[in-house]
Structure 1
Amino acid sequence: MNLLTRVSLRNRALIALISVIAIGFGLIATAQMKKELFPDLQMPQAFVTTSYDGASPEAVETEVTEPLEAALNNVAEVEKVSSVSTAGSSQVIVETKYGTSSDEIVRQLQRAVSQAQPQLPDGSEPEVFSASTADIPIAMLTVTGSDDPEALAQELDDVAVPELKRIDGVRAVDVTGAPVKEVSIEADEDKLEDEGLSPDALAGILQANGIPTSAGDLVDEGKTTPVSVGARLTSVDQIANLALPGKDEPVLLKDVAKVEMREADSQSISRTNGEPALSLMVMKKPDGNIVEISDAVAEKLPDVTERMSDNVEFHTVFDQAPFIKQSIDDLVNEGVFGLIFAVLVILVFLLSVRATIITAISIPLSLLVTLLSLWLSGYSLNMLTLAALTISIGRVVDDSIVVIEAIRRRHAQGGTKFTSIMGAVSEVAGAITASTLTTMAVFVPMIFVSGQTGEMFRPFALTAAIALAASLLVALTIVPVLAYWFLRARESRVKLTRAQKQQIRADRKANLRQWKSERKAVRKRPVSIEAPAGRHATSELPVIGESDRTAPTRTAAGGTAATAAPTAATASGTAAGAQPGSDVDELAALRSPVTRLQKTYVPFISASTKHPVITLIIAVLVLAGTVFMIPQLKTELFPDTGQDFLQVEQSFDAGSSLEESGEQAAIVEDVFENYDEIESYQLSIGDDSMGGDATTGIHLLNLKPGVSIKDLSAKLEEDFEDLDGAGEITIQSEGGGMSNDIEVSVTGSDNDKLATASEDIAHAVRDLDEVQSVTTDLEATQPTLEVDIDRKKAAEEGLDEATVGQVVQRAMNGQQIGNVVIDNLGHRVVLHAGDVSTVEELEDLEIPVTAQASAGAGASGTGEDGAGDMGQDTDAGMMPGAPAPAPVPEPETETVKLSEIAEVNRTETPAEIRHTEGQRSVTVTITPAGNDLGAASQAVQKAAADVDTPQGVTVDFGGATAEQQEAFTQMGLALLAAILITFVILVATFKSLLQPLILLVSIPFAATGSIGLSLLTDTPLGMTSMVGLLMLVGIVVTNAIVLIDLINHFRRHGVELRTAVIHGARLRYRPILMTAAATIFALVPMALGISGEGMLISKPLAIVVIGGLVSSTLLTLILVPVLYLLLESVKERRSERRTIKDMSRSHVIDQAEAEAEQKKAAATAAAAGGSAAGSTAAGSTAAGEAASGVRADTTVDTSAEAPADAPAASATDAEATRTSGTDAASGTDGSADDTTSDSGETGTSGAGEKPE
């Protein structure tokens, strides 16, 4: 990292140019980035929807849903299959693994559906599609003002739709709520009987006509010409003129039936502000820019309105762009406020405008680099990336603060700018790199988080990580360059008087004049072109560069000239007090005076290190209080997004017709009309609505700016309670937030047991205080007529169930027998035979006894299965089957009444039948009261557990409860993984297993402030809060890293333990406070939500980070130094004991060896004779002296290890150092009493007793 800074300082102009280029491209990227509400999420779900007109829910379940479930369960990637069967419709929900390609899943499901197609009823065509946030329309417009919906729909297709489709990025514009036309064939039974025909003959006529048949190729004169027989039907007249074999001669279809194009029975209702309206859904392409598309739509609407008929008006019911714009504006506001607060904090601490500006530049520069990276990576600007950028505003300034603070401190010690800056960066580069890497590393687990949480917050994690990396790069490159240019080489430590400031200005002018004159003299000096002769002559030439610049002579106030250039010692790289061969004074900071700010902290850190046990007890009590606060927290899944619309769901009475549902919805619309806060309201009922049917209505309320969504919801709920005859009304979402409904799924094979269990559970939870409302699937039932056919009697008449069913279908709703394309529009062809509107008429329905079941069955299909596909192109190269033979005249037939071969019974059946994993299930839906999802879930689970469920019935909890449990589990694992990754980085940084544990101690205390502030602000703990806790793992360790790094720095250079701890803590006190305060104050606007409702999703995150930073910073400044002192003291004691043990052992061994040598010498002397006794004694004395000399040498060598420039220590400390033989500067047991003088210097450590 030092090399990076050195290169930057050597190439300052290049760094400035690169910065300007990065700013320019960052601004371009910001303008070009795709803007949307959420990133395009590929949800792990696919849907198979099938229409089966006229069928009851039970019939749909048996004939459509169950065959499809069996086929779809065989797909390997499918994890869960559930379904909903309603009258005339089946929807199978397939859940797959996250990360699986949606396109591949759709292809596999389509193959499975194709295999199940032969088992499905004729005329049912399943459709397969996947779920994605890109399928959400970017805008929904309603059109009112015309009494002729058909004409208005045609006008929209001719004018509005083509014009809006021309907008760049628009994929489709769909018109909903428009009347649908169909080709109706209404049989005249009398005429058919006269001609000897039956309705089955009409059903089969489209098989025999309108299907071009490829007859092969004709080779004529060497040329091959394909031959096609027949032509498609393209008009109603062509259908009416189709020929049928009559009794005497062929008859035309129009002679025995009425053929016309008419409006199909309405299946939906669409109203805006209580008036009938059509809707326009604007869909974007995957790479479309929502904001640009919305602006283009708004720009084109006036022109489109002018081209439409009079009184036609367009109303915007839903538009994503305004909220996205608001979010971007909120980001700018939050950024501005956060920048201002951070700048003020830095200015207060540094008291330097220049240093503050240099530090503040790192915020916009880092954010622009982040936006540029996101743009190049193909990411969009959405709510989650915006939230990450806003959160990062307070964090990206931290590295720059540490660097600039260290540079200013080095400048105050004197020396050249280059040397001071390099010394400062070398001091903090390792610490800020490690701290930034730990903060970035906590986002790595987000890559592996599965489920919806991982999909949503992965862009958030990537954005924050890029911003942090950019801030580190800016701090190590651009900040040093700006400091070199704009910071003074030396700042005064005292306040200068006015006279002294005037003297500085006078000296500056005098020096400037002197420098100009010297430069002028240099320019006038002649330059020698020829080099002197000699091998090394080139070395005598002046070198153009940094050394060629003549240093000016400074004129002092007294008139004495002095050279302003650095001294030779400084120029050579050796500063005063520096280690030999080093560029910087490693212990200069230790000798710096105590500042006013540090004086507020030194007494606390001194007292804490004197009484470490008391400090630890207080810390444990704080941690215990944190654990006690956890159960008091409220929990949620996702917070309110703050959008300005409400969605209200209205469930009508079971069995209500479409007209009756519209009348009940009008009661609710009258309530909306009385609220000035509602800009407009849109009603959708039926198959064309937003996923509803005839028994469900969706009211979408577009609110005016500034309306409190919670207050309005409370008022509406009070009004809804007083309504009669409006069904059940639920405010489904507030401000677009995700549903917090709790779902209890009751599964089993016995319907009666399911009903009993679900009703018991609903009754048990309905009276809970935590529950607002309770609904079950079984509560919505609808009357059904079941035709129970006597198969024996039917067989006696030559009939079967399929034939009878088709006759009944034609008489009631008509039978779809094909499709045609007329004027480029597809239309159904429906055969009507008979008119049944009452039960009596149904029972008296005449069934032809000579009708052939096989003929009827063949006529009921569409496409390849029966009716033909007259109006649609077949795939290239496909040869449709040969048409069925034309129907022949049938003999005169007899009929039987339906009541003669079947019974018609009235029953009550569920409006919908749900399956979970192939079994019938009933869902009990509970809406929690208030914003505490966790408390509601626990209360519901406890109440449900007390219910005695029948045997064979299982109860599972889903909905928001299951999603919350899964999300919290995933985030909890991510939190543990983040701590582990942080620990690994710290071990690599400090090369120790114990010191990183000290740093990790600050993490639990971050939860103290987070939980406490959440309780004070009544903020539930949700997914955004969990992301904030994840961020805190990296953020809070940052302060501890820079603190421990400096203490280790002092210890490596021989400073005594407690001295290093106190001085390291006091020197890091200001940067720690600055970084924490800058981050906190930058997040205050977001936590208060002063910029608007658009940033509400980030508010819990900001609250968690602020609270965690406050508590962790305060405890880090006290607890971390104490733990470090205790740990290192223990290590020193162990080292001293080992050293003393080794010395004692060596001493005894030396004595033993000396005695052995003496005995050996004595024995030798005795053997040689008495004359050698004197010589032996002399040898023993020499051996003893030699052993003593070894110990003396050892002592001298060990004492030489203490650095000459270390702070003064007591004699006992020096003796302990000499005896220990280690790198530590002191051998005290940590109980020495340091005192701080008035000047701020720490005094000599008290003598400690040497261990024995």
Structure 2
Amino acid sequence: MKLVNTSVKRPVGVIMIVLAIIALGVVSVRSLAVDLFPKIDLPIAVVATSYQDAAPEDVENLISRQIESSVSSVEGIDTVQSQSQAGSSLVMMMFKNGTDLDQALLDVREKVDQVKGYLPEQAGEPNILRFSPDALPVVYLGLTGGDAAKLTTIADEEIVPFLERQGGVASVTVEGGKTREIQVEMDQAKMQQYGVTTQGLMQHLSSTNSSASVGTVEKGNQDLQLRVTGEFESLDDISETIIQTETGATVLVEDVVEVTDTFKESSSTTLVNGEPSLVLSIMKQTDANTVEVATNIGDSISEMNGDLPGEVKLETIIDTSEFIQMSVDSVISNILIGGFIAVFILLLFLKSIRATIVIGLSIPIALISTFALMYFTGQTLNVLTLGGLALGIGMMVDSSIVILENIYSYRKRGYSLFDSATKGASELAPAVIASTTTTLVVFLPIIYVEGLASDLFTPLALAVSFSLIASLVVAITLVPMLSSKLLSKAMEDNGRRYWFDRFLDWLRGKYASGLKRVLKFRKTTVLATILAIIGSLALIPMIGAELIPASDQGQAQITVETAPGSSLEYTEGIAGQVNETINEYSDVIEISYVTIGGTGFTAGNQATYTMQLTPAAEREPSTQDIVTEMDEKLQHIAGAEITASAMDGGMNMGDPISIQINGPEHEVLREISDQIVTEISSIEGVFNPSSAAADGVPQMTISSDEGKAATQGLTQEQITSQIQMQFNGQVVTQYREEGQEMDVTLLYPEDERSTISDLKDLKVQSPTGASLPLEEVADLVEVQGPVSLLRENQQPQMNVTSAVVDRDLGSVVEDVETTLDGMSLPEGYSITIGGQAQDMADSFTDLAIALVFSIFLVYAVMAIQFENFLQPFIIMFALPTTIIGVIGGLYITGISLSVPGFIGIIMLAGIVVNNSIVLVDYINILRGRGMDRFEAIIEAGRNRIRPIMMTTLTTVLAMVPLGMGLGEGAEMQQPLAVTIIFGLSVSSIFTLFFVPVIYTFFDDLSAKFTNRKEKKKKKKEA
């Protein structure tokens, strides 16, 4: 080939190009972002709306339904889900894959704007957000050493601004802090004495605390801006505000109220290792390097601690970059181990340090070139892309081995260095290109697969492809050039490795005799192979299936849920008992923090613990083992529903099992979900099943009597506003001090707004000035209200979720489906299974289609290469034999089939044919030289067993570290590595025996057709 000749003739040019690539790769690897997983771009948008103090039913009817209806017509919408709970609405829109989410968000914003006018006045502004798995804090910090008020001031004024200036930091959120508030507490007796009404007090405070521009006046040749100032400058200004009563008298605010500078009532408590604390969660910028951001934060903590008061301390609670760094380091170490193994195998076979260097150089050059290509295609360094390189480390030398072997054979036949290099490389370059191309084309369908499988493994496919392309270029340019310069003598026996040569000679002899035997008993060989494949298929039910292998990231969570409506003090008491259990695991728990009470979408009767365990290498039990044992102990604590679970850290895959029940009535859905929880609890492997239909929250329903209210001149809105004022207070204005702005809240004393008696004794003021008991104009009924209400596609929904322990997801789902099929549902109600189970089914379907297309593309490439439809078909018979190795390997290692394992099967479709290509191609070359078919097969087998062994051993043994699951985060690549190790090993054996047998069958068949054509031709001529 021209490229080969050019590289041999111009070695300086080749070396300069290689040096340039190395320089470019070194620069690129320093610029590549480091993360745990590739970026998962989920087409999901969220509309979040607050509706303070509203019950879930009101939130659903007045907000969620309105927004659902408006956004459902947006183009590309697949599913619309909503969650309505006390005080907030969350509407989630899932779009079809391929939807332009930027345009979709604009359409959603436009639709929401159209219905904003129909939402209640008390509802907050709807926030439209793009949902991203990357939108999770990268570091959690704990601030301890003082009361919450003092710590809040330090955090807001010093720490948060400093951290937000650090490189890559997007935002910092403070949890557990105190919010300053000016409380204006009313004295009803004094207000009645002076004739001051609540409405009048609100109006005076609001109107007095204002500033306005009122125009301009001329002063000489200048215009003066007129501005009336009247904002409160001190608490005394609030206290001394003059109120004019309806009788015309004037009183001061302090005469009827008490003004207090205090903090808003806290609905939650945050503890770090049992000590009151503030927790700062730090979000990174979208394109920022997680490890670099965490490093910047770590450096800034040391700097901040030096400036904080002596007793105040800022420390890291959870740093997600630690696991990322450990995972990346373990993959890199596996790459190095695999590289050393590959080089050792080369040295063992080649018996020459120079020859080993010639081939070994393809590994670092391919790796460095891959880093450059990854940088320019926007990829990141993560456990999957690096895992792809670790898997491909052995394949990188395959092409170089085949080329060098042929160069060596020409050199032994007496050719010069130049001729050996050019002829040897040119002769097998087409076969090498074909074998590499077959490996590359299997990845093309993966790029077009949609969903999670594509997001996770397209980067891996690109990394492997880049490395193989680079290694192919090295094989047909650098290897021939170096061979012509470095291999001045043919490789000779040097005594030290003579035992290995004798072993190879013995192996060649055994293989030749075995090959002769299978060629003699061809039908028996085919039958034995078919039986082996059928036998391996029988093992499939024993393997099981799962979506993604769980990584032991050392993070655990405990959720405590007391009875709905429980006070914060009661939940804190239960949390104290949980702390006692957690303290028993102090040897494996590095740090823990708990949030008790309501924050955002967390109910006020909940406590959530987050725990960081010691690294997996420093403890014997896995995170799941610890969690299971801890969960069993926690069940003995009465008064709460307590669940312990392992966290998946950087990649939230959702609940393993999520059962969705849809129907017209929420109450019926609650009953069905409770029944499902009971039914599936007895299934082996189901762990902590729970229903979203938690016990109802105690509610007091106040129904105004329109007739009685109208008699007194009252409307329902007036009654509602007075009740809200009595029990929640109302923000009437803002007070500014030293650049800070805080609410001025008008409210009643706590002892007048805390009991049912206070509600019943509430006096409602009529427009005529009369004061009436609430019970005269409204009916009070105590009921149980829902915690939250779910809807999907504008229909009520209820979810039942469960984790899976000590059993594979596939078999558990199968048992769950059997159980659900046996249940009878009311008409109009349906059950579907989602979560990881649905993702697994979708991913497996997509990958199965990709596998079919990959096999077709492999055949097409070989048909082009051989310019023959029959030869590729013969070679493809190596593929079915991989089933034996794949299924057997998964069964032996006890690993379930997962998406990574399926990717390994697709990769095998392109890898296993390489040995067959080399073997069949050489058989054809020998037959082209006039050799008999039988002799050509035996000679090709004897000649090619060495390079086939070298390529197989380098590929397989280089993957052994990954296959053993060594290091942090190796669980993700282990199924892929095991699949390739066993699949390639078994298929290589069958390639050496089974493929030659198939070759003879098809050759006989071809000969029959050829003879028939010749006979027909002769008859026509006769």
TM-score range, shorter chain: over 0.9
Question: Is 1:712 matched up with 2:626?
Answer: yes
Question: Aligned equivalents of 1:47 and 1:179: distance in 2?
Answer: 28
In the alignment, the residues of structure 2 paired with residue 145 and residue 985 of structure 1 have an alpha-carbon distance, to the nearest angstrom, of 68
| 1135-1144 or 202-211, which deviates more | 202-211
2:135 alignment partner in structure 1: 135
Does residue 842 of structure 1 match 2:767? no
One-letter code of the match for 1:1011?
A: I
CA 1:218 to 1:47, structure 2 compared with 1: closer, same or farther past 3 Å?
Answer: farther
Q: 1:722, CA displacement in angstroms? A: 3.0
Task: Please report how far the alpha carbon of residue 143 of structure 1 lies from its aligned counterpart in structure 2 after TM superposition.
Answer: 1.5
SS in 2 for 1:34: coil
Cα distance, 1:805 vs. partner?
1.4
1:1141 corresponds to which residue? Answer: 1016
SS at match of 2:21: helix
Q: Which has the larger radius of gyration?
A: 1
Distance change (3 Å), C-alpha of 1:239 and 1:1036 = farther
Report whether the alignment pairs 1:655 with 2:565. Answer: yes
CA distance in 2, matches of 1:495, 1:411: 21
* Alignment partner, residue 603 of structure 2: 693
Question: Which residue of structure 2 lines up, in the alignment, with residue 901 of structure 1?
Answer: 777
Q: Give deviations 1:879-908, integer Å, cap 9, x for gaps.
A: xxxxxxxxxxxxx71121111111211111
Q: Distance in 2 between matches of 1:474 and 1:1061?
A: 30
Q: Which of 1111, 1122, 1129 is the aligned partner of 2:997?
A: 1122
User: Separation in 1 of the partners of 2:266 and 2:746?
Assistant: 17
1:807 counterpart residue number: 722
- Please state how far the C-alpha of 1:1115 moved relative to its aligned partner: 1.2
Partner of 1:832: 747
AA in 1 matched with 2:591? S
- The equivalent residue for 1:107 is 106
Mapped to 2, the partners of 1:222 and 1:981 lie a distance apart of 85
- Write the deviation string for residues 290-339 of structure 1: whole angstroms up to 9, x where unpaired: 22232232223233112212222333221122112212221221112111
- Quote the offset at 1:192 in angstroms: 4.2
Alpha carbons of structure 1 residues 86 and 497: separation in structure 2 relative to 1, 3 Å: closer
Q: Helix, strand or coil: the match of 2:134?
A: helix
1:601-750 equivalences in 2 (<5 Å): 601-675=511-585, 676-688=587-599, 692-705=602-615, 706-707=618-619, 708-733=622-647, 738-750=653-665
Shift of the 271–767 alpha-carbon distance from structure 1 to 2, 3 Å rule, reads: same
- Give the drift of 1:493: 7.4
CA distance in 2, matches of 1:1036, 1:210: 80
Change (3 A) 1:1049 1:158: same
Q: Does 1:350 align with 2:261?
A: no
Q: Quick one: which amino acid aligns to residue 584 of structure 2? A: N
Partner Cα separation in structure 2 for residue 637 and residue 367 of structure 1: 29
Q: Distance in 2 between matches of 1:206 and 1:953?
A: 54
Who is 1:757 aligned against? 672
Number of the residue aligned with 2:688: 773
CA, structure 1 residues 822+114, in 2 after alignment: closer, same or farther (shift >3 Å)?
farther
d(CA) in 1 for partners of 2:866 and 2:218?
87
Q: 1:1089 to 1:153 in 2, by over 3 A?
A: same
**Which residue identity is paired with 2:901?**
S
Could you say if the C-alpha distance between residues 466 and 244 of structure 1 is closer, same or farther in structure 2, counting changes exceeding 3 Å? farther
Please point out which of 805, 816, 827 is paired with 1:951.
827
Q: Is the 8 A contact 1:647 1:734 kept in 2?
A: no
Cα shift at 1:651: 2.5
Equivalent pair of 2:862/2:872 in contact (CA under 8 Å): yes
Distance 2:233 2:285 in 1: 33
SS for the counterpart of 1:1029 is helix
The alignment partner of 1:904 has SS state of strand
Counterpart of 1:912? 788
5+ residue gaps, structure 2, are 499-503
SS of equivalent residue, structure 2 residue 781: strand
Structure 1 residue aligned with 2:480: 480
Q: 359-368 or 244-253: which moved more?
A: 244-253
Q: 1:718-747 CA distances to partner (integer Å, 9 max, x unpaired)?
A: 322333334222314366674443111111
Report how far residue 377 of structure 1 moved: 2.7
Shift in Å, 1:277: 0.8
Find the counterpart in structure 1 of residue 1007 from structure 2: 1132
Q: Tell me how far apart the structure 1 counterparts of residues 836 and 56 of structure 2 sit (CA, whole Å).
A: 27
Q: Write out aligned runs for 1:284-299 (5 A).
A: 284-299=284-299
- Does the Cα contact within 8 Å between 1:395 and 1:468 map onto a contact in 2? yes
Structure 1 residues 458 and 27, CA, compared in 2 at 3 Å: closer, same or farther? Answer: same
Q: How big is the shift at 1:145?
A: 1.8
Give 5+ residue unaligned stretches, structure 1: 499-593, 851-891, 1148-1252
Shift of 1:657: 2.0
CA contact (8 A) 1:753 1:953 kept: no
Q: Does 1:38 align with 2:46?
A: no
Structure 1 residue 235, shift from structure 2 partner = 6.1
Q: Quick check: 1:25 aligned with 2:34?
A: no
In structure 2, do the counterparts of structure 1 residues 825 and 963 end up closer, same or farther at CA, with 3 Å as the change threshold?
farther
Change (3 A) 1:952 1:477: same
Could you tell me how far 1:232 is from its partner in structure 2? Answer: 6.5
1:149-164 → structure 2 map (5 Å cutoff): 149-164=148-163
The 1-side partners of 2:743 and 2:853 are apart by 59
Instruction: Indicate if the aligned counterparts of 1:370 and 1:466 stay in contact, CA closer than 8 A.
Output: yes
- Closer, same or farther: CA 422–227 of 1 in aligned 2, 3 Å: farther
Cα RMSD of the aligned pairs, angstroms, is 2.7
CA gap of 1:952–1:833, structure 2 versus 1, over 3 A, is: same
Question: After superposition, what is the alpha-carbon deviation per residue over 1:86-112, rounded to whole angstroms, capped at 9, x for unaligned?
Answer: 222222222123344544444333333
User: Following TM superposition, by how much is the alpha carbon of 1:206 offset from its aligned partner in structure 2, in angstroms?
Assistant: 6.8
C-alpha contact 1:775 1:925 (8 A) present in aligned 2: yes
Amino acid paired to 1:61 = E
**Sequence identity of aligned pairs in percent?**
30
1:342 and 1:231 mapped to 2: Cα distance? 81
For 1:730 and 1:921, locate their aligned partners in 2 and report how far apart those are by CA, in whole Å. Answer: 26
Mapped to 2, the partners of 1:972 and 1:657 lie a distance apart of 53
Which is further off, 41-50 or 817-826?
817-826
Indicate if the aligned counterparts of 1:38 and 1:133 stay in contact, CA closer than 8 A.
no
Letter in 1 for 2:307: R
Q: Which residue of 2 aligns with 1:523?
A: none
Deviation at 1:1082, TM superposition (A): 0.4
CA distance in 2, matches of 1:262, 1:77: 49
Query: Secondary structure of 2:837's match?
Result: helix
- What is the CA–CA distance in structure 2 between the aligned matches of 1:376 and 1:45, rounded to whole Å? 28
Q: Distance in 2 between matches of 1:496 and 1:945?
A: 69
C-alpha deviations, 1:569-601, integer Å up to 9, x for none?
xxxxxxxxxxxxxxxxxxxxxxxxx95442231
2:477 aligned counterpart, secondary structure: helix
| Structure 1 segment 188-587 matched on structure 2, within 5 A | 188-193=187-192, 196-204=195-203, 208=207, 244-246=243-245, 247-248=247-248, 253-492=253-492
Deviations 1:279-298 (A, max 9, x none): 12222223322222322322
Q: State which of 1088, 1095, 1105 in structure 1 corresponds to 2:970.
A: 1095
The corresponding residue for 2:707 is 792
Query: Is residue 98 from structure 1 mapped to residue 15 from structure 2 by the alignment?
Result: no
Spell out, residue by residue over 1:1148-1181, the C-alpha distance to the aligned partner (whole angstroms, 9 max, x if none). xxxxxxxxxxxxxxxxxxxxxxxxxxxxxxxxxx
Q: Give the Cα–Cα distance (whole angstroms) in 2 for the partners of residues 731 and 609 of structure 1.
A: 58
Please give the alpha-carbon distance, in whole angstroms, between the structure 1 residues aligned to 2:136 and 2:814. 33
Separation (CA, whole Å) in 2 of partners of 1:993 and 1:206: 90
User: 2:848 aligns to what?
Assistant: 972
Give yes or no for contact 2:598–2:605 (8 Å, CA) kept in 1.
no
Contact kept? 2:4, 2:426, Cα under 8 Å: no
Measure the CA separation in 2 of the matches of 1:378 and 1:659.
51
Residue identity in the other structure for 1:928: V
**Which of the numbers 850, 853, 857 marks the counterpart of 1:981?**
857
Quote the offset at 1:65 in angstroms. 1.9
* Matched residue type, 1:113: V
Conservation of the 8 A alpha-carbon contact between 2:635 and 2:642? no
State the distance in 1 between where 2:577 and 2:497 align.
Answer: 81
Relative to 1, partners in 2 of residues 1:1018 and 1:826: Cα closer, same or farther, differing over 3 Å? farther
Three-state SS of the structure 2 residue aligned to 1:4 is helix
In structure 1, the partner of 2:501 is none
Q: CA deviation at 1:1142?
A: 2.4
Asked if structure 2 preserves the Cα contact closer than 8 Å seen for 1:642 and 1:735, the reply is no
